Structure 1
Amino acid sequence: MEATRARKALIFSMLMGLASFIVIHVSGEHSPTSRFSGGPYHNQIRKMQDFRASFVRHDSVSLAPSTPPSPSSAQPPTAASSPRVYRVTSYGGDPTGGRDSTDALLRAIADAVQGPSSGSLMEGIQNLGGAQVNLEGGNYMISQPIRLPATGVGNLMIHGGTLHASDNFPNDGYLVDLSISPTSNSKEHRESSMDAQQLSSSTSSYYYEFITLKDLMLDSNYRGGGISVVNSVRISIDNCYIAHFTTNGILVQGGHETYIRNSFLGQHITAGGDHGERNFSGTAISLMGNDNAVTDVVIFSAATGIMISGQANLLSGVHCYNKATGFGGTGIYLKLPGLTQTRIVNSYFDYTGIVAEDPVQLHISNSFFLGDAYIVLKSIKGIAHGVNIVDNMFCGYDKGFEIVQLDQSNGPFKDIDQVVVDRNNVRGMNLKATLAMGSVNGNGSSWIMDFNHVLLFPNLIRHVQYSLSASGGQFPNHALRNVSDNRVVIQTDLNVTASVFITANQGVAN
């Protein structure tokens, strides 16, 4: 074994020595006295030179501090040194945040967009093959929104660093803006934008597809928002921390299937208990499109955690503790009367609640409501269809708050169908449901059960079941006499001692 190792070491030393010898000769082949300009010997030299180069890492990172190259001298990465990875520092970006890096970021993105493509995603959207714009763990100050210079592109990732807005960043802008840019930021950017536009020739009805924003911290510096996604499809926002926004942390408008995962959003960086949180403003996430998903996201400060005005969105594992209004801010607001189609599951509403306008096909389950947080069904046109509020936990401070409340300031709910509020466990709050059970014991000919303290909707009982058990061997005739005002009246033809068990249901379909 030792002999074998010794032989391998000797062979390796000989090869390295030969490579060094060849380098000496190659260094002279460009000099006036060079005798080797071609032929088999020259080819052998080239092969040995390539062999020696294979022992050297070309992408090694120096540990010594260095000054970023100026934008004028920065050269874009070559395919050999960094295949499809466009490093912002190579374009003159300042990773310390001391200088404006807007142009460097835009040039890196422009080169990525104009790089080689491999077929199409949706019709009219070019597949950039997974090209990456790498922020290299830097902190970059920007004075304008970072936009893609062309529509009709996809399969691109921007990742790995921090962007923070400068003091002159536009108040209505977003740090990363996936929308059509009305203006350009520089002459060079305008030229690259025109080239990219010519290359794209998109016929898709969507601007972008499969753009990934990952491992980013976005600091809006109280000037505008974090991320805007407009009319795009299959966008991924993963492991992002978005803070100091004044409009929206994330805005999704139009398009389909934007997935927001494993992220943290807050207007102010706090872990609760902030004396100013009653005055927090802004919206952490605004979903103005369809078929999106928010999964495992924390919203720690904002006036509204998630505003939904699009259809068929899924929220799972969301933790809202944005205590914006009297320590009871709105966690989720569903502002799409009559077209809700929203599922909220496995979430945590920490001193914040849910408001749903005219809910239609709304499902809320397996969630925890802490600190007197509750659900409000708000009447706009008085519609509530296909609502399930089931299997949740509510915990409060015995202040008399009901777990589900009706806001009928615009008029009563009058079109109610398939609404189920049931199987919720409650501590320190008042239980409300659409299914109620009770019993009455006594002697007489009339038994009355009042369900107003439990039933959600006023004066609405659609179905009643009861049983009467008389003592003393009596078998009176009995009947359901009245169900008005959420009160059930059972009557017998004789005075008897009996127990009456009653179930009242508001949620049975018409």
Structure 2
Amino acid sequence: MMPRKDMFVNLIIMVFVYVSAILDCGESSYSGEGGYRDEMRRLALVKATHIIRNGVSPSPSHSTPQVSQRSRVHHVTEYGADPTGRLDSTEALQQALSDAFGSHVDAHLMEGVADLGGAELHLDGGTYKISHSLRLPNISGGNFMIHGGSLRASDDFPTNRHLIELWSSSTSLLYEDITLKDLMINSNFRGGGISVINSLRTTIDNCYVTRFTTNGILIEGGHETYIRNSFIGQHINVGGDRREKDFSGIGINIKGNDNAVTDVVIFSASIGIMISGQANMLTGVHCYNKATQWGGSGVYIRAPGLTQTRIANCYFDFTGVVAEDPVQLHITGSFFLGNAFVMIKSLAGVVCGVNIVDNMFSGDYTGVKIVQLDQSNGPFKTIEEVIVDRNTVRGMVRKSTVARGSVWRNGTRWTVDFSKVLLFPNLIKNVQYTLHAGDAFPSHTLRNVSGNRVTVESEKPISATLHVSVDQSMVGYI
């Protein structure tokens, strides 16, 4: 690489050659015009000084001009948006959005979805008042981000809309790889926060969504929306809110498949997360929205017959989980505080492939069961592969599908009662037992299994201990 000193010397030489060329041109054409020559000399020296100061070499007059690439970062303040939030900025923001979608690189994501080349709508750290939804243009686009500021609904914002909407006029997938990041979304108690409809691979990261009346975040259709590192609450509080019984709305409403919610706090809403799609994943979620005693739910799974939902390492704080006719539901590694519990609700009487294992339950010793059955719409008729086991329980009533017990007595009949532990009533289908009578070996038989009680009877009186293991998980249609 050339030393800086040599580069500077060469630059000076180029400047003087450039000045001489201009002067020679002037002298050969207008040798008799002394005034013109002096003016040309003055202009040449001014330009030479600019070249030396800015390090720009003169371009030959015959070279092709270099057209600068237009930036794909659209700063909303340059469009006239008011970062103080006093004036309505809807039109300015919408124009910036239109411009961001107006140019794209010669590439595509999914077929028909144009690559916007990492375009950004930059909110410049301001707070912007909007009077109608900030809606992505009705043209395909992806690889795009909105970030870095706050949006607040005006007092006349429509109550049935969301502040940011990824919502095309058709059912086709127009948007892919859209990121909403570092945003404060204030719905001003007029509608919802963010809606993602028929979009593919959307990321909502480090967002704070509050003062909504419908949904903090709505996901409908589409595929693989990921919500992470975000805070969602209708009313801003840290618990113990005197208005808690009046909380309404849904923090996150998922009406689609294959979405994920990770490291998210939902601190006020009637329902923390509503799920009515399949194969969704919740991890590291903390729900302390409306408590169960006020009719709230941390997670409500409304996907009967084909649930395929996984809940792992979550924290349910005085509000629990409700699942309607769950088929393939996994709840593990989670903490249920303040009598929070899991409710399995019967609609068509189906519960299959449910694992509630390795969780912690903590209550106030008032007799609340850790897992409960709601059979008000009819009893469960199809029960298969339901495992409730290995949960640690303090201050609540343990319920399980696997249990072990023992009883000692002197006589001919021994009964172990599991009715207080087993989840399903009168549903023991697998029994293992041992009658331990010291050196004696009396004849005995399993006499009765009903009402979740196991009875063994011997042919003659003897002093013995009956050890029994039962399992409700390995059952078929009943």
TM-score (norm 2): 0.87
Q: Which of 78, 81, 104 is the matching residue for 1:116?
A: 104
Query: In 2, Cα distance between the equivalents of 1:83 and 1:242?
Result: 30
Report the AA paired with residue 83 of structure 1. Answer: S
Q: Which of 72, 85, 104 is the matching residue for 1:84?
A: 72
Partner of 1:434: 401
Distance 1:325 1:374, change over 3 A: closer
Q: Which of 461, 464, 486 is the matching residue for 2:428?
A: 461
Partner of 2:63: none
* CA deviation string 1:284-310 (max 9, x = no partner): 000000000000000000000000000
* CA deviation string 1:71-130 (max 9, x = no partner): xxxxxxxx9597210000000000000100001110111101012323000000000011
Report the AA paired with residue 124 of structure 1. Answer: G
Any residues of structure 2 matched to 1:48-67 within 5 Å, and which?
48=51, 51-52=54-55
* Higher mean displacement: 204-213 or 395-404: 204-213
Distance 1:309 1:111, change over 3 A: same
Are positions 1:485 and 2:473 aligned together?
no
5+ residue gaps, structure 1: 1-6, 27-31, 55-78, 182-201
Q: Which of 157, 163, 166 is the matching residue for 2:154?
A: 166
Any residues of structure 2 matched to 1:245-394 within 5 Å, and which?
245-326=212-293, 329-394=296-361
* CA deviation string 1:356-395 (max 9, x = no partner): 0000000000000000000000000000010000000000
Distance 1:276 1:434, change over 3 A: same
Does the 8 Å contact 1:280/1:324 carry over to 2? no
* Higher mean displacement: 7-16 or 475-484: 7-16
Partner of 1:507: 473
Residue 481 (structure 1) shift? 1.3
Q: Percent identity?
A: 57
Does the 8 Å contact 1:221/1:245 carry over to 2? yes
Query: In 2, Cα distance between the equivalents of 1:153 and 1:46?
Result: 46
Q: Secondary structure at the match of 1:35?
A: helix
Larger Rg computed on CA atoms: 2
Q: What root-mean-square deviation, in Å, do the aligned CA atoms of Structure 1 and Structure 2 show?
A: 2.9
Residue 13 (structure 1) shift? 12
Does the 8 Å contact 1:257/1:290 carry over to 2? yes
* CA deviation string 1:253-299 (max 9, x = no partner): 00110000100000000000111111100000000000000000000
Query: In 2, Cα distance between the equivalents of 1:124 and 1:108?
Result: 22
Any residues of structure 2 matched to 1:18-57 within 5 Å, and which?
35=40, 45=48, 48=51, 51-52=54-55
* CA deviation string 1:160-180 (max 9, x = no partner): 000000000000010000002
* CA deviation string 1:445-504 (max 9, x = no partner): 111111110000111011000111103x32111111111111111111111100010011
Does the 8 Å contact 2:11/2:52 carry over to 1? no
Query: In 2, Cα distance between the equivalents of 1:264 and 1:118?
Result: 37
Does the 8 Å contact 2:292/2:318 carry over to 1? no
Distance 1:52 1:13, change over 3 A: same
Distance 1:508 1:42, change over 3 A: farther
Query: In 1, Cα distance between the equivalents of 2:289 and 2:200?
Result: 29
Does the 8 Å contact 2:168/2:198 carry over to 1? no
Report the AA paired with residue 397 of structure 2. Answer: N
Q: Secondary structure at the match of 1:112?
A: helix
Distance 1:88 1:258, change over 3 A: same
Q: Secondary structure at the match of 2:245?
A: helix
5+ residue gaps, structure 2: 23-35, 58-66
Partner of 1:497: 463
Query: In 2, Cα distance between the equivalents of 1:173 and 1:382?
Result: 36
Residue 326 (structure 1) shift? 3.1
Query: In 1, Cα distance between the equivalents of 2:255 and 2:298?
Result: 16
Query: In 1, Cα distance between the equivalents of 2:282 and 2:379?
Result: 28
Count the aligned residue pairs.
445
